[in-house]
Every structure is written in structure tokens, then in C-alpha cells.
Structure 1
Amino acid sequence: MASIAPLLSILLMAVLGIAKSPTREQKDDWPRIEHDHTVQACTVLTINGQAIETAGAIQAIFDDFEIQDDVWSTEFSQYAIIQIVGNDHAVLAKTHESLRLRGVKVVHSAILPSDSAPLPQGPYFLHHGHLHQAYRLYSDHAGAFIVSTVPDGNDGFRSLDAAAYGEQYPDALTVAVPSRLYYTKTDEKPFSGIRIAVKDIIDLKGLKTGASSRAFTALYPVKKETAETVQHLLNLGFVIVGKSKSTQFADSEWPTCDYVDYHGPFNPRGDGYLTPSGSSSGSASAVATYPWLDFALGTDTLGSIRSPAAAQGIFSMRPTTGATSSNGLVPYSPKWDTIGGFSRTAAEYVTLAQAMYGSNETYHKTFKNPTRLIYLTDYWPVKDETSQKLFDAFINKVEDFLGVTRTSFSLADLWNESRPADIDESIDQYLNHAFEWSANRDQWLGLLKPFLQDYTAKMGKPPVLNPQVRFKVGYTPRITAEQEELADKRLESYRKWFYEKVMPPSEDGYSSSIMILPWTTGEPAYRDTYKSGPQKFTGEGFFFYNVGPYAQSPELIIPGESESHFESLLSGDLLVQVGTTPYVSKFTGSVEQLPAAAGFIAAKGSDIMLADFVNKLFDYIGHDVKPTTTIIGQSSDEL
């Protein structure tokens, strides 16, 4: 066993063959254990009235631990601490014998009163007579995180002040994850132990919210409260392991040229040097790259969840507008901001959707399938023939699953035929400035203007900003209150028309219609592309990614996956979800695979039903798969 060394924080780190773990101390009411001052890895086992009869039974427990958990390893099996509820010496003696035959030394036996709560079973470190929970340390080699977090003991968080992979990944953060064995799902905490990362425009108590701005981070203090939506997840048992990178203030930025304050995260798909896409790219990169992370939260104002998921080959959903609280967010526009998440499989996304948008009553609700599949000829077919063939094959399977034939029509033509009588503009003309005028004035008044004033008053100079945000500082003040009011009125007229002619909002969580849209073009977009200047994105225009948000409807991204990164859990055969399109990498000169992704839009208010539908669809197709490797030529940490 390698030596144990203290870190700069109050944590301890142990290097145990394949595991690097900091520790968090046990509860104060657990008895002190007589032990020397060395740090000893051990396993806590609980006996409830029945002895562990054989060495084989001990090994079966250890085997189960190793299957369930990435923190526990065989190095923790050399020593054991036994806790038994009730005073049954015969049971204790038999268990001691089984452990001895298995080659395990019993360090301590604790007989607990019947009303005492035992420690969770699993891996611990014994030091100075106290037990400390074990964490495993992983490197953030994809650059997806802005800070790694651990609990601060006061219902908040603090940063993990540790670096465990400096030689191998010199600029990578170290992320600590707790043992999954510590958590048991209950009625009160049905999602106990599920690991999640949070985008760094969302508040966590005890930490600063930086919004990927060094100036913003330096100016404002740590947060005293956790964002309402995140606190809801914590109450349900989720475990936060870090904050993920965002574009600056969740605006639209091109990697790498627009990323000035912080380097953009890496997209593990294709050759590993494709764009990670929109503002929630850090959350998407973390889920796409790291199998030890279950979910990540992002935000979507006009595409910031959906676009990174499509680019990085994972599932995500922009929810119904207002489905979650936006309290505790760095705002773009409260009228448009939504919180959603990322997962690697459709089945996992159902879990996240239930937690975020559901209730105890909806967790196990059975939904009917939609009876209409909308196929908008404004956006179909895509120009790339290979991609369209993949999309057609997938849509054919959706039709088979639903037992319907797609309903094809042009949204623009339908608008021209049935728009309100007092409107004579095309849909593109009518909505050309809708988001631009509705949202950007909010960004100026609610974020940029007060930030500039606060920073200048305290620092005596203006803050340094990334190129896109510098552009917005000059542009957003020009939007007038009259323009904002006009845009909001036009959006309200459009929604009324959309609900009547295309897809009515849901009253009971069910959507009778599903719309499918393309989210990829079949062309690679690289992270090293030089630009003549900042993107100068304002949200002007009406495109496929506006359809869902303008109707305030949920949209769930269905990813394709790269054959280099995914394989079937059942058969080991390489499979596709929507599919992949080949391209020749300008970096490697080899043929790589680019994910093809589509989006499903359902009726406003049918978020859980949409996730449930997609899960059932992939069960039917048989293509719900999980990633097993990360960037090509670079496997995930096994340290």
C-alpha cells in the first residue's frame, strides 16, 4: 500500500492501487476506535441479527460492493469494522470467524443499541480512532468542470483543494465522488446517491457563482442559498460533485476564439476536437465523457441545452417554460430561461425528468403514446444525403412504434393559410425580432448593466469581458421597452395560433402529438476555427431551434452515437440510436463518426410524458446504450 499524505484541506488522501480517495469524517456520535495513528483503509459491515456464515458469503458481499461502487476496491477488504444491532455475541463470533477464513482482519466490533442508526456499509479510512468516508478522485481531463465540490458540513459546499493528476493531466481539476454504498433510496429520498454536476450560472450555497467570468467571480461573494431547483434535487437525495463550465453569462460563444477567461471544454465525439457547442457545453461534456457521473444540469434560453447534447451525442431536454424555478440563476431573461439536464440513456433521462418535473404521483404514471407524428417540411429533409438516410430509417421506426404515418406539412405554409386576420407577414417576418427584442433587454437590465455598475464602483475600472459579451454590452442598451412589448405581443399571438393549429398545450401531462426536428447537418464543426470577430449573436431570425421555445414546449434531444464510444450493454454489438455520419478528420486524416441527432417536441406541460415516450421508443428499437470509453486513444481514469 502506498503512503498516506495529508492535503492542504482538512481531507485526507489515500493512494490505494487503483483508488485515490479524500475522506469526510464520520458522525460525532459514533464511538472512537482504539487504533494507532496510521491511516488504515477498511470496510464497515453491518450485521442485523444473522451471522455471515462463511468466507464465501463474505466474498460475495465484497463482490457485490465492487459491482455497485467505483470507490470501494479490494484494498478496502483487508480490514473490517463490524457493527451489530443488538447484543448477540454468538452472531458476532461466527461473523468474525468467517472474516478470518476470508483473510480479513477485524479491527473493531461495535455493538449498537437497537435504537441506534448504524453507519452505512462500505469503504472508510480509520485515522486517529475515527472513521472517515472515502471519496474517489477522478481527473477532469475534458476540462468540463470549473470547480470540484465537497459538502461543507453546513448544508452547503466548498471547493475541493486537491490535485491528484498533475503530471498526467497538468491543467485538469480533480473531482471527488463519494461511495455509492453510503446511500439507500427511501420514500423521502428516492434518488439517493445519484451524482450530478451543476452549470456555473446556478447558485450553490457556500460557493461563488462565476458564470465563466473572472471579473464576475472576483466581484461577488459566495452564495448563502442554493438555487431552488437544485435544492429540490438535494432534498430528493442527489449528490453534487462539482460545477461545470458555461460560456460567459450563458451567451453564445464559439470555441476556442471566444473563450478568453477560461478554456472551452472538450467534446469526446469524433476525433475529440469538435465544438462542444452552446452555453451548457461543460455539463454536456462531463456526461458525455465520464461514466462516473450520472447527470448534469444546464440551462436553455434558446438552445444552450439542446445544441451541446446534439453535438456530443447524449440526451437532454429543454423543459416547458416555467416547469422549474429560475430562482438562483444568473439570468439571461426570466421569460426564457429554463433548467434542464443531460443523460447518457433514455431510461436515465426518465429518472431525471421525474425528479425535476414530477411528483410522487407521476413517478409511476403510465402514459399513452402520441397518435400523431409531425414532420415539418420547412426543415426536412436535411441537405446531407447520408444524414437524411439515417434520419429516415429512424423516423420509419418511430412510425412503426406509434402505428402511424408521419403528418407532413410546412409550418410557414400553414401560417400563411391560417394566421390571424390582422397579420399579413410571413412567419419568418413576423417573428424575426421576437427573441431578440423580448430577451436581450432583460439581459441588459437584469444582468449586464448592474454588473458593470457594481464592478466599476468597487474596482475603479470596467471589467474585462469575452468578445461576445463585449458586443452585447454595446448592443443590448439600444433595445427599447416598446420593442420588447411588441415582441412579447407577437409571441403571444404566435402561441395562440400554434396551440390551435399545430399542438395544443397539455392539461393532464399527455401530448397527443409529437414533432420531430433535425439537430445536426452531417458537417463537422471544429473547436480551432478562426473567426473575423465575435459571433454577435442576438437571436434575430426564426429557425428550427425556435419552434419549441416559442411555444414554451418541451423538446428532448435524441442523440446518435459514435461507434468508437458506445456499445450495447446486452450483446456487445455496436449499435446506433439515430445514427452517425462519417467524415474525414482534418486532424487525424482518418474517417471519424459524427453523431446525428434529432429533437422531439411535445405539448406544453407534457415533460415527463415526453421522456417516458422516448424511453419506450428506445426499448422498442433496442438501441438504448451506454458509453464505455471517452476520447479516442484516451481511456477514462482507472487510478
Structure 2
Amino acid sequence: MKVFFWSLCLSFFIGSLEALAVSKQVKLGDISYYVPGVPELTVDVGMMSSLFGTLESSFLFPLTVFGYSGNLDYSTIESVSKNFSCSDDVYSDYFLETIMVQSPNVGVVSYSNCSLSTLNVSTIISLGGSALPNGPYFASYLDGQLSVYKAYRLYADAYGAFQAGIVPSDENAESFMALPAGVEVAHAQTIAVPSKLYYTVTEEQPLAGYRVGVKDLYDIAGTKTGGASRKYYELYDEAALTCPSVQRLIDMGAVIVGKLKLTQFANGGNPTANYVDYHAPFNPRGDGYQSPSSSSCGSGAAEAAYDWLDFTVGSDTGCSVRCPAGSQGLYGLRPSFDAISLDGVIPMNDLMDTAGYFSRDPSLFKVFGETWYGENKNISTSYTSFPKTVYTFAFEEGDSDFIESGASSEALALFNTFVSNVVSFVNGSNAKLDIYSKYEQDTGSSLANVFNNTWYGLAGFYQYVNIWERFSKDYQEASNGDIPFMDPIPKFRWEWAYNNLTQDGYDRCVEQKWQFDDWWNANVTSTNPQTCSSSLYIFLSNDGSTAYRNVYNSAPNADGFSAFSEMYISSFARTPEAIVPLGEVAYNSTITLTEKYLPVTAAIGAAPGCDFMVLDLIEQMGRANLIGGVATGQKLFP
């Protein structure tokens, strides 16, 4: 069954007729594939035996590889094909055209030509030993040699979440390159994913075969890091090295498939007003026209949109993982500060930046976190039980933008049920904590004064000094004195910080951050040898309110610079904080004029270094069916 099409890019050596294939794109039925330029295996005809049919010279053809001992028959091949189809989105029956059996003990094929035609098998060969993982491949048979290549399925990034699709470099095994293939998709990227059948999860590689997208702040060798700035992307070369945090994922077996969009240099932003250099990703939930939040907007949108993607990596300084996790109804973690190296990552502030991630499943949420941060000895693994005190917050009216005050009765019911479930699960008690009055009682200071411009000073002044000054200087030198364009939010924040703060002013912001940190970790979530943290704290992080992307916003201003938000607790106190999807609430969409649903989520946190305890609690509550996995697409629970 020769039902496929291919296209080819060639690179020629000057003065030579030899050509090196650097990319091939193949279509089997309605599905497109990318074929790397470097084979996984090349074998001579003398190493192969023909069991059925004749292997004819061919530039490219689909191939199924598996190991088997004994006599092959129709039912065996049919069973293998069904098992592959059930466990892998790359495999299809088209790959049965040619079969390579890896075994020295394969008997005569004992079925008729009629059965073979039913299975679309034309050729079966054997290789006397295991050389490749099972699965679908592409192969060429030229001049007596069989070359076998991995198969990557091509997916359209229909929600515009990715900045670029990437694949391993054909020239350097330690590097990546932009995907040299594409499928039809309007103003978006194509992403290539390899067969899951190539990978086996082991103790050494617990993330083997899991597909991961990475926020475009992280350096990945052979690719550019753009930070959502066109001028920054154009100015600087491809990264020479993969940053340590992403390299650890690769070492643990993860498959990096692309770089994800963000708001510029990880600053906040609204889709219509503030995205200028690049278009905002689309939040798949509800009517599809809600804000994806920021700054890890692409990471949240991709995780919520694509079932072929397992995890996404973001970063969190102010709310950049937790807010998109809320908007898209995902599990998301801002880890303890310094959970993993941020070398090779564009910074926002080196006192608050963290490397976080997204997941749709509570068990996998734990697997990824324990694997990624597993080398950090400051994250405790010695707790023997969960904390008994569970704090929720009680604020005086008008003192905060606390989201619970404006939440619907349906959202509050979901939140209160979750709190009750946590309290019952840990066999503990719920205590209301008025942060404002307790802080003033314990310290004699006003919390509002501590947060007066503090976060904006920390982020804005730090980025001005550590990004803008170098970037602007380098760009002007390369562009005859031109100033590089900046999106409205970072431009406003950096100019505000420069005009309103000196180094002394920045130092005062640092001091205020540490004042809150010292108070919180002495009085609310102190460490405990049995439970890791003396308490847990929970708040409603997303109440299912609408945030339409077609609403025009006013220009950036300083309103709200001094406001306290519960989202700043983790940023200032270094605590691990996880977002948990609770359910969804109905709303009448002004886009579709029909009823749709949006996520309701809660945040749960603990003392610094108690990340694994929090992940363990979430995983155990998942096994107890108190929380669960979420789907991709419009609804969390379709």
C-alpha cells in the first residue's frame, strides 16, 4: 500500500554530487510526519532475512519494528498493531506496509496472501537481534543498505501557544533546531512529536517519553531565546548551551518539543491592549475568547489545549504559573524559591524567580515535580504526616482585592467543599487568618506599607538594570543608534522604576520583601520535623469570572502598585504554592451567545522546602477521588 506523499529539503556539497537530506516531510493518509535527516540505524542487506515479500529499493517508506520469537501469523500482527494504536498517537496501520521483526528465532509466516492484503502488509524482514525500540519508523533501502529513521507526527498549534516547534539537531546530538516542516495552520506553529513507543519509563528516567513544552525564557542549545521580544530575538544568536533546568528534564528522559509564548520578558499583559510584538495565545476554555492570563500564557494554553502534550514549563515571579493555571483550570506549581537553577533563564528578579510547571493529572503532577526538583537537598522528603492546621483567609472589607469577596455562590461552594475535604483528609482543623490584623499585631507595622510599590520596584528596577541596559546598548550598537521596541507593560514598568527608584529605593524594596518573609515563616508556615510545615494555607485563586480578550484596556498606570494580593504570599515568602482545579461554573458567553463554563481553582501552600509534601497531598487526594484529572478543550470535565 504505497499511499503516501513526501517532500524533501536537500543540502549539497559544492563540487560533489553527494547530497545530505536534512529534512523530509511525509503524509500517510491524512496525517503528516517529519522524518529526521539522521537515521537511528543503518544495516547491510546481509544482516537481514526476508520472511515475506521482497524488499525493493525505495527512497522512503513506512516501517513497523517489533520483537517477536516464534511463528508469525495474522492474529499476532493484528494484535501488535492494535496495541500500538491504543498506546501511541504517532502509529497508524499505514506503518504495516513493511515490518521488521527483531529476533533470531522467527518462523515462517503462516497466513495467506489474502490475510496480508487485509492488513496492508507487503514485506516482512527479520533482523537477528534487538537494535531499535518497538514502534513506527520510516526507512529507505538504497544500494543494499536499509536506513531507519524515527517518525515524528506533526500537529498544528491551532491555539497559537508556541513560539516555535523544535526537534533534535541533525548535526549535533546535544543541540536542537527549529522544526524544518509544517502543516496548514493559520498564523501559528507546527509541533513535531516522536512516537511514545520509543521510550520506557525507568527509575533512572522517570520522564522517559513525556512531551514537554518550555517557556521562551529558557536557553535551549541551538535555538534562540526571545522573551517575546522581536528585537531581542533578532539581536542575539542561538544559545550555545541548554540551561541546567531544561537539561535535567532531558537527562530524566523528557522530550522537548517546542518553546512557548509568554508576555514580554515575563511581565503581565492583556491580550488586546498589551501584546504588540506577538499575538496572545488562545485560552481553550469556555468560548475560546477568554484571556490566557500571563506571563506563562503559552504554557497554560498549550497544556489546556493539546492532549498530545504532557507537561509545560513556565516561570513564576509574581503569579506567572499560578494565574494561567487558574485561568485554564490546570495543576500548576510555583516551587520553593531556589528549587532549581535558573542559570540561562531571562530573569525578572533573582530574589523571587522560580521555575514552575503545569499538568492535567494529580499523579503526574507529583511525578514531574519530584523528578525535576529531586536534586535539591533543601526540599524535605522526611515528613511523616500532613499538617493539621489549614488556614483560609479572612480580610476586612475594602482591605484587599481578595478574589473570594466577589466570587459566585457556585464558585464558593466548590472552594468550601475543597477546604472541607483537605481538613478531613489531614484529620485537622480550619482556622481563619486575617493577614492584615495579624501582621500589624505581630510587627506593629502596616502590611499596606510593606507592599507599597514593593513588587513593582523589585521587578521593574531589577529588569531595567539587568535586561534593558544591556539589551538597549547592544541593539543601538547594531542598529545605528535605534532604540528597540518594547511592549506597553514592560516599557511602563521599567520607566516607572527608573524614574521613581534609585538603588537605595530598590534596596528598601528588598528589605520590605524580607520583612514579610521573616514574619510569614515564623508565624504562619514555620517548619516542623513531622509535617514539614506547621500549617497549610488555601485560598480561591480563580472563581470562574470572565476575562474577555476582545475588551480594550486603558494604558498602563501606577494604580494598584501598593495593593496586597494573596498571590504575593508565595512570591515574598518563598513558599511552594500549587494550583488545584476544583470544577467549573456556567456563564452566558457574549461571544457565542450560549452557555459555556470556566474553571474554578484553589491555591494550596506550605513552608519553604515542603514542595513534595504538598505534591504528595494532592496526589493522595487524587487517588481518593477528592480531586481529579482535567481534560483538554472547552471543558475541564466534559
TM over 0.5: yes
Q: Using the alignment, how far apart are the partners of 2:204 and 2:543 within structure 1?
A: 44
Equivalent of residue 405 in structure 2, options 378, 382, 389: 382
Equivalent of residue 633 in structure 2, options 622, 630, 636: 630
Q: Using the alignment, how far apart are the partners of 1:415 and 1:303 within structure 2?
A: 22
> Cα–Cα, structure 1 residues 99 and 134, in superposed 2: closer, same or farther, change >3 Å?
farther
Equivalent of residue 63 in structure 2, options 15, 39, 42: 42
Q: Using the alignment, how far apart are the partners of 2:112 and 2:351 within structure 1?
A: 61
Offset from partner CA, 1:532-583 (integer Å, 9 cap, x none): 2136689543211111111100100012xxxxxxxxxxxxxxxxxx222221
Matched, 1:604 2:612: no
Equivalent of residue 323 in structure 1, options 339, 346, 350: 339
Conserved 8 A contact 1:121-1:182: yes
Matched, 1:411 2:424: no
Residue aligning to 1:341: 357
SS of 2:274 mapped into structure 1: coil
Structure 1 residue 360: Cα displacement: 11
Alignment of 1:133-172 (within 5 A): 133-153=150-170, 154=172, 155-165=174-184, 169-172=185-188
Conserved 8 A contact 1:58-1:98: no
**Larger strand share, 1 or 2:** 2
Q: Using the alignment, how far apart are the partners of 1:337 and 1:401 within structure 2?
A: 32
Structure 1 residue 126: Cα displacement: 1.6
Residue aligning to 1:591: 595
Residue aligning to 1:93: 107
Conserved 8 A contact 1:317-1:341: yes
Equivalent of residue 216 in structure 2, options 188, 197, 200: 200
Q: What one-letter code is carried by the residue in structure 2 that aligns with 1:257?
A: A
Matched, 1:12 2:35: no
Q: Using the alignment, how far apart are the partners of 1:314 and 1:538 within structure 2?
A: 27
Structure 1 residue 521: Cα displacement: 3.8
Q: Using the alignment, how far apart are the partners of 2:64 and 2:389 within structure 1?
A: 55
Q: Using the alignment, how far apart are the partners of 1:330 and 1:360 within structure 2?
A: 21
Structure 1 residue 335: Cα displacement: 1.4
Residue aligning to 1:65: 84
Q: What one-letter code is carried by the residue in structure 2 that aligns with 1:483?
A: G
> Cα–Cα, structure 1 residues 507 and 99, in superposed 2: closer, same or farther, change >3 Å?
farther
> Cα–Cα, structure 1 residues 509 and 231, in superposed 2: closer, same or farther, change >3 Å?
farther
Q: Using the alignment, how far apart are the partners of 2:224 and 2:478 within structure 1?
A: 17
Structure 1 residue 228: Cα displacement: 0.8
SS of 2:64 mapped into structure 1: strand
Residue aligning to 1:565: none
Structure 1 residue 52: Cα displacement: 5.2
> Cα–Cα, structure 1 residues 536 and 29, in superposed 2: closer, same or farther, change >3 Å?
farther
> Cα–Cα, structure 1 residues 29 and 43, in superposed 2: closer, same or farther, change >3 Å?
closer
Offset from partner CA, 1:390-424 (integer Å, 9 cap, x none): 211222222222222311120111112211xxxx4
Structure 1 stretch displaced more, 74-83 or 272-281: 74-83
Residue aligning to 1:516: 538
Offset from partner CA, 1:27-83 (integer Å, 9 cap, x none): 355446764124211201223xx3255432332222211111100111112320122
Q: Using the alignment, how far apart are the partners of 1:363 and 1:494 within structure 2?
A: 23
Q: What one-letter code is carried by the residue in structure 2 that aligns with 1:510?
A: C
Structure 1 residue 363: Cα displacement: 12
Q: Using the alignment, how far apart are the partners of 2:215 and 2:403 within structure 1?
A: 33
> Cα–Cα, structure 1 residues 312 and 381, in superposed 2: closer, same or farther, change >3 Å?
closer
Q: Using the alignment, how far apart are the partners of 2:528 and 2:476 within structure 1?
A: 47
Matched, 1:425 2:438: no
Equivalent of residue 250 in structure 1, options 266, 269, 290: 266
Structure 1 residue 437: Cα displacement: 2.8
Q: Using the alignment, how far apart are the partners of 1:64 and 1:626 within structure 2?
A: 25
Q: What one-letter code is carried by the residue in structure 2 that aligns with 1:299?
A: S
Conserved 8 A contact 2:527-2:534: no
Equivalent of residue 613 in structure 1, options 611, 614, 617: 617
Task: Give the structure-2-normalised TM-score.
Answer: 0.88
Offset from partner CA, 1:213-235 (integer Å, 9 cap, x none): 11001100000001110001101
Q: Using the alignment, how far apart are the partners of 1:400 and 1:224 within structure 2?
A: 51
Conserved 8 A contact 2:25-2:181: no
Matched, 1:455 2:471: no
Q: What one-letter code is carried by the residue in structure 2 that aligns with 1:3?
A: F
Matched, 1:396 2:399: no
Equivalent of residue 121 in structure 1, options 113, 126, 134: 134
Structure 1 residue 365: Cα displacement: 7.7
Residue aligning to 2:13: none
Equivalent of residue 568 in structure 2, options 539, 542, 546: 546
Gaps (5+ residues) in structure 2? 11-21, 49-54, 396-401
Q: What one-letter code is carried by the residue in structure 1 that aligns with 2:308?
A: W
SS of 2:406 mapped into structure 1: coil
Residue aligning to 1:26: 39
Structure 1 residue 188: Cα displacement: 2.7
Offset from partner CA, 1:324-347 (integer Å, 9 cap, x none): 111011111111111110001111
Residue aligning to 2:555: 533
Q: Using the alignment, how far apart are the partners of 1:314 and 1:134 within structure 2?
A: 30
Conserved 8 A contact 1:192-1:238: yes
Equivalent of residue 446 in structure 1, options 466, 475, 492: 466
Residue aligning to 2:4: 3
Conserved 8 A contact 1:7-1:162: no
Structure 1 residue 492: Cα displacement: 2.1
Conserved 8 A contact 1:44-1:124: yes
SS of 2:525 mapped into structure 1: coil
SS of 1:583 mapped into structure 2: strand
> Cα–Cα, structure 1 residues 444 and 506, in superposed 2: closer, same or farther, change >3 Å?
farther
Residue aligning to 2:189: 173
Structure 1 residue 7: Cα displacement: 3.9
Conserved 8 A contact 2:23-2:181: no
Q: Using the alignment, how far apart are the partners of 2:87 and 2:561 within structure 1?
A: 45
Conserved 8 A contact 1:326-1:338: yes
Conserved 8 A contact 1:99-1:105: no
> Cα–Cα, structure 1 residues 35 and 313, in superposed 2: closer, same or farther, change >3 Å?
same
Q: What one-letter code is carried by the residue in structure 1 that aligns with 2:99?
A: A
Alignment of 1:293-372 (within 5 A): 293-359=309-375, 367-372=384-389
Conserved 8 A contact 2:404-2:543: no
Gaps (5+ residues) in structure 1? 560-577
* Count of residue pairs brought into register by the alignment: 595
Offset from partner CA, 1:563-614 (integer Å, 9 cap, x none): xxxxxxxxxxxxxxx2222211111111211211110011100111111111
Q: What one-letter code is carried by the residue in structure 2 that aligns with 1:151?
A: P
Q: Using the alignment, how far apart are the partners of 1:230 and 1:99 within structure 2?
A: 51
Matched, 1:557 2:583: no
Conserved 8 A contact 1:390-1:579: yes
Residue aligning to 1:111: 128
